[in-house]
Structure 1
């Protein structure tokens, strides 16, 4: 959003004579203020029934459409009209432009406590069409995120003692636009979102109350001042929150005050004005002529004041179309939300491009498997491609008809439907209605009626929770429930992540791309470079093939492979899950045995086996806009993985791995390697002897393995040439496409690396590491390996340096590279 940008009709910026700046109506604002009623229909809640007003007999008018002007040619522009009609005021002009440009609605609200109010808050935000809402006094501890329903997610920051606390609620259409989250303390936080092709910095602040000391107040304003100054001047800033200060009704020489405030200014209000002066910010909810009920944000008994504000850069004020408090949106009894509407176009998304095609609902397999299997008729074995395509067609037709298909795009499911029952809804509705009655007539009787309804609503919510938890405990006590515990833990962990998906990505020069088509093309170029470019290396040596007979695949091998396959995994491009082949309701092992033997006889695999879906998974560290901070996972055909299981078992029967390798080896794992390393360190520390340890990491280890190195390692390990040919079938003309948050890319070729997500790839990689580095190994635990992670230990630092250099040279000789940035050094020598 460059500075000084003028009006653009396509972007919906108002012309000078219809802008939101108060200079248009400054002279007339005071004259009509007395004519505006203090209360009226606009103060009613959004879901309240309209009042019926009898105006008496009125003349009947007949309206005929006589418009002949073509848009943008001979249509007469509307100008300012009389004060009494008010049709020329900025608000009227803005309503006409709303059809041209989409808007983003910001809000701020002190909720008092979010506990027990999340569902009510989500309903209010949805009703008021709010996209970003700053929350104060959440009283939630921790630094997490949480879904609150209706597609809203709250990113919050709180103290361990459940005091204060701030948060920012993000709507469904902005969830994928969050690129940074900064938590400063329990009174201040910030998120950075991508909106309107620029970075937008949104602050949520909760200033110290009137009873706090000046030192505490200065700490908050100093922090807010520093964090605001850290934002680049070219990027927009929106500061929202409960600032606990009275800025007064009039501007009194402050140009950042619009002159339409409420109340009398105090010392805390001066702090707010000094802050806006320092950073050239304007207080937008003081620039619009409003009735007092749309200015007051805090109510306590008979007193009311304006202490919640929305601040933006002065140059961005032309984007603001309206800002006011909503008096009858009573999520909490004391504070009212302040809603600010800005002409910032939200991110556009197409669900089908965003998340790929629709998929089969395989999670319904258990309840529908009998109906599916009745419709599946596996074809006779002819040639490989024809047989597989016919089988896939009949399986896909049956499963999609019975199990159903997913809808592309994120499915926002309200997980709290068990809590928001009809009884709870009715209790909450009665509570709100009685509170509105109290607001209209503040009598002790009305207040007592409201408090009774509020108590009944709390009891209803508590009863619904208790009933739900009782059923959940019973379910978890069963055999299936024990397996569901880990699924619940994983699901809850995913919900607490600040950044789920981010559709933007940096290009090769570090410039952020927000266009979805360009972002998907950037992803394609990135993975194509990784999948087709090897690190520089000399030619791979030649290894003589090992001749010998290989027995045909048997039904027993297929059954063993199926037992080792796991359920609930994401399907590949063919959309056929392992659960189909593992079902005991039929016997597909014979057909699979015949198909696999036909594949090795024809030396040709189905085309679907050479296709994959590459899904970039953010590593939860670094910027989500950097491609290097993602780990690629490839979704492959499950039927191919069954074939890989057969090959994996046969290869393991032939090879004999070095005892230094702990990765993907039976009866050995990370625990054994960590235990051996700790013992080695503790023994040397106990005897006060120096020990020097280096932890090596390979750069793009699985992605940059030359294919010729795979065949070389297998032959050097004594694998029969027929089995090598079986492995080569899986690496014949592989292609993949990227499925990211921005959309789905075109296909790209893969000519280097082992397949990510493959069953066979871990075994192939440890064989490669064993073959090319076996002579560099020392006795365990002086050399330990876990796949691509290597630990080297020595009593002499020079000896360790010699070992590291030898490993680096050997890896480079075969097309692998040491990652210097991730290589770590450790020593027990106190003199170093």
Structure 2
């Protein structure tokens, strides 16, 4: 970030999978970032065990790694911006976030590292769950930068992903790259690597003796696409890694600029951060009471059962008419879903089993459900088939109490 006389600013955000123990390469990395005026950088494969932070010459590094061997992610912030850091959130050893106040607005910096091909599928799902949750908790008016090694190929052409793919990619799209595109669609992000026309050599983020490919990406909000001024690869660094350091240039609008290094600016930073935090988290006691009152008032005053002519409910329950039906247990549903094989032919409902597994399991986020539905829509679009979806609000459909049954039950128990 370089202030000028008009207080216009540019933020240079870097990304690098440094491919080895960061503890041994931290000084070299700090020198490289400082050399190119990069003030914030997302790094992967830190392999620096623990949930902690440390000073690295002109930068401070926040990192997370569980066992010191598998992966690890980190975010480096220049010492010049340390007083503007308002929050650090480590989701796991593959996803973390640092929030910084820049130009009077909060910017969320996320470092992500998707598991490689061949690793356990559950670990990949866990990565997407954490990344979905961490972005889903960011307010829509906050700027977002995601620097990540997603171990996937988004492909050269945008095809049907014009809203997230700028049309300037590399190679042939694979399944991991398609997951990245669906993830971007779900969160209204755009892949910044793809919006600038570059030579093919300047799109390669991983280069070895055998392979040259693009697997490292920068993602920003689609509304901030115009603020992304350039995307650059840094050649000839001293870092001994097969991944390449890249930089995204952000423009900070003059109208939202404020001198953060003054006392007035400092107060504004923390006032802004607290206000946004309250807006996202706090709910008043009276609001909670009001919501519960409205819920039960509607729940207990709606009649959903059969009625006789004249609006009267039947006085006697006919057991032969209504019968006794054994409820389907949660265990039976889970077993049925588990026994169904993936990639099998769809049934009469034309819904793949993968969709039922996602939408029907507890603990899944709404974002992931949207992600799966987008994939379903894409599959139907590719096969040029019609797709009809009905969304039922289960609370209104099922979560009401037939009041006549309550009264009959009370009468049988001699409760008046």
TM normalised by structure 1 equals: 0.31
- Distance in 1 separating the partners of 2:258 and 2:71: 32
Match of 2:363 in 1: none
**Aligned with 1:214 (options 121, 145, 166):** 121
**Aligned with 2:230 (options 290, 314, 322):** 322
C-alpha distance after superposition, 1:560-614 (max 9, x if no partner): xxxxxxxxxxxxxxxxxxxxxxxxxxxxxxxxxxxxxxxxxxxxxxxxxxxxxxx
Distance 1:191 1:100, change over 3 A: closer
- Distance in 1 separating the partners of 2:207 and 2:5: 32
Cα offset for 1:197?
1.2
Cα offset for 1:236?
1.6
SS of the aligned residue for 1:163 comes to: coil
Q: After TM superposition, list the pairs within 5 Å mapping 1:612-627 onto structure 2.
A: none
Distance 1:322 1:510, change over 3 A: closer
Match of 2:94 in 1: 187
**Aligned with 1:240 (options 130, 136, 147):** 147
Structure 2 unmatched ranges of 5 or more: 279-416
8 Å CA contact 2:196, 2:230 repeated in 1: yes
Cα offset for 1:115?
2.1
Match of 2:131 in 1: 224
Please tell me whether Structure 1 or Structure 2 has the larger radius of gyration of its CA atoms: 1
SS of the aligned residue for 1:328 comes to: coil
**Aligned with 1:104 (options 1, 6, 11):** 11
C-alpha distance after superposition, 1:455-509 (max 9, x if no partner): xxxxxxxxxxxxxxxxxxxxxxxxxxxxxxxxxxxxxxxxxxxxxx9983338x9
8 Å CA contact 2:28, 2:238 repeated in 1: no
- Distance in 2 separating the partners of 1:300 and 1:347: 44
**Aligned with 1:505 (options 260, 270, 279):** 270
C-alpha distance after superposition, 1:713-751 (max 9, x if no partner): xxxxxxxxxxxxxxxxxxxxxxxxxxxxxxxxxxxxxxx
**Aligned with 2:195 (options 287, 300, 304):** 287
C-alpha distance after superposition, 1:752-804 (max 9, x if no partner): xxxxxxxxxxxxxxxxxxxxxxxxxxxxxxxxxxxxxxxxxxxxxxxxxxxxx
Distance 1:285 1:99, change over 3 A: farther
Cα offset for 1:227?
1.7
Cα offset for 1:291?
1.1
C-alpha distance after superposition, 1:512-571 (max 9, x if no partner): 7xxxxxxxxxxxxxxxxxxxxxxxxxxxxxxxxxxxxxxxxxxxxxxxxxxxxxxxxxxx
Match of 2:23 in 1: 115
8 Å CA contact 1:294, 1:327 repeated in 2: no
SS of the aligned residue for 1:117 comes to: helix
- Distance in 2 separating the partners of 1:239 and 1:274: 15
SS of the aligned residue for 1:106 comes to: strand
**Aligned with 1:197 (options 87, 91, 104):** 104
8 Å CA contact 2:260, 2:269 repeated in 1: no
8 Å CA contact 1:107, 1:340 repeated in 2: yes
- Distance in 1 separating the partners of 2:258 and 2:43: 23
Match of 1:124 in 2: 32
Match of 2:245 in 1: 337
SS of the aligned residue for 1:505 comes to: helix
Cα offset for 1:171?
0.9
8 Å CA contact 1:293, 1:327 repeated in 2: no
Match of 2:210 in 1: 302
Distance 1:215 1:505, change over 3 A: closer
- Distance in 2 separating the partners of 1:141 and 1:182: 16
Match of 1:723 in 2: none
SS of the aligned residue for 1:154 comes to: strand
Match of 1:142 in 2: 50
Q: After TM superposition, list the pairs within 5 Å mapping 1:641-656 onto structure 2.
A: none
- Distance in 2 separating the partners of 1:331 and 1:347: 36
Structure 1 unmatched ranges of 5 or more: 1-11, 13-96, 355-500, 513-621, 623-832
Cα offset for 1:98?
11
- Distance in 2 separating the partners of 1:282 and 1:238: 10
- Distance in 2 separating the partners of 1:299 and 1:218: 27
Match of 1:447 in 2: none
8 Å CA contact 1:177, 1:502 repeated in 2: no
Cα offset for 1:348?
3.7
C-alpha distance after superposition, 1:214-245 (max 9, x if no partner): 22212211221122111111212211111111
8 Å CA contact 1:330, 1:336 repeated in 2: no
**Aligned with 1:268 (options 176, 185, 197):** 176
List, as ranges, runs of 4+ consecutive aligned residues in structure 1 with deviation greater than 6 Å.
Answer: 97-100
Distance 1:295 1:344, change over 3 A: same
- Distance in 2 separating the partners of 1:286 and 1:510: 35
C-alpha distance after superposition, 1:327-365 (max 9, x if no partner): 3224132000120000026874558x79xxxxxxxxxxx
- Distance in 1 separating the partners of 2:51 and 2:102: 24
Match of 1:538 in 2: none
Match of 1:169 in 2: 76
8 Å CA contact 1:173, 1:347 repeated in 2: no
SS of the aligned residue for 1:321 comes to: strand
C-alpha distance after superposition, 1:151-171 (max 9, x if no partner): 211111111344211000001
8 Å CA contact 1:176, 1:502 repeated in 2: no
- Distance in 1 separating the partners of 2:6 and 2:169: 30
Distance 1:215 1:502, change over 3 A: farther
- Distance in 2 separating the partners of 1:251 and 1:332: 33
Cα offset for 1:213?
2.7
Asked which structure has the greater RCO (Cα within 8 Å, sep 6+), the reply is 2
C-alpha distance after superposition, 1:609-661 (max 9, x if no partner): xxxxxxxxxxxxx9xxxxxxxxxxxxxxxxxxxxxxxxxxxxxxxxxxxxxxx
Match of 1:159 in 2: 66
Cα offset for 1:204?
0.4
Report the number of matched residues: 270
SS of the aligned residue for 2:131 comes to: helix
Cα offset for 1:205?
0.3
- Distance in 1 separating the partners of 2:258 and 2:198: 31
SS of the aligned residue for 1:201 comes to: strand
8 Å CA contact 2:104, 2:269 repeated in 1: no
Cα offset for 1:99?
8.5
- Distance in 2 separating the partners of 1:136 and 1:99: 36
Distance 1:267 1:148, change over 3 A: same
What value does the CA root-mean-square deviation take over the aligned residues?
Answer: 2.8
